[in-house]
Structure formats: structure tokens, C-alpha cells
Amino acid sequence: MATHPHHDVQRRGPNIYLAPRAPVRPAVQPDVRPSRIQRMTFIFGASTMLWLGIAALFVAL
């Protein structure tokens, strides 16, 4: 029974290191020419943070 967790830990280690390598190449391509979804997500996130900041000021006062 004790051998199973050790094997799992050994398998999880390489997978964690291999996982970042694969998505790095696809992630670079969308960054070069951002899509509509990424642009809308960025605008939505920025506006949300801005409105939260304004709301925090009103709450603080």
C-alpha cells in the first residue's frame, strides 16, 4: 500500500514539469495577435477592477 503514493508522487512530478512546456508554445501565438475573446476579457477585467476600486473609495469614505 505504501508503494502506491510513492509511485503517484513520482508520476506527478514529471507531469507537472512537462505540462508547462507544452502550453507555452500555443500561448505565445494568441499573445502576438490577441483575439476578440482575449480583448473583451481584458476590457471586462480592467473595467471590473476599476469599478471595484471606485466602489472601495466610496465605502472607505
What is the pLDDT, as a whole number, of residue 61? 86
Residues of the chain with pLDDT under 50: none
What is the pLDDT, as a whole number, of residue 6? 57
Angstrom distance (rounded) from CA 30 to CA 25:
10
pTM for this predicted structure: 0.38
What is the pLDDT, as a whole number, of residue 33? 72
Question: What single-letter DSSP state applies at residue 2?
Answer: T
Angstrom distance (rounded) from CA 58 to CA 52:
10
Angstrom distance (rounded) from CA 11 to CA 5:
10
What is the pLDDT, as a whole number, of residue 31? 54
Mean of the per-residue pLDDT values of the chain:
72
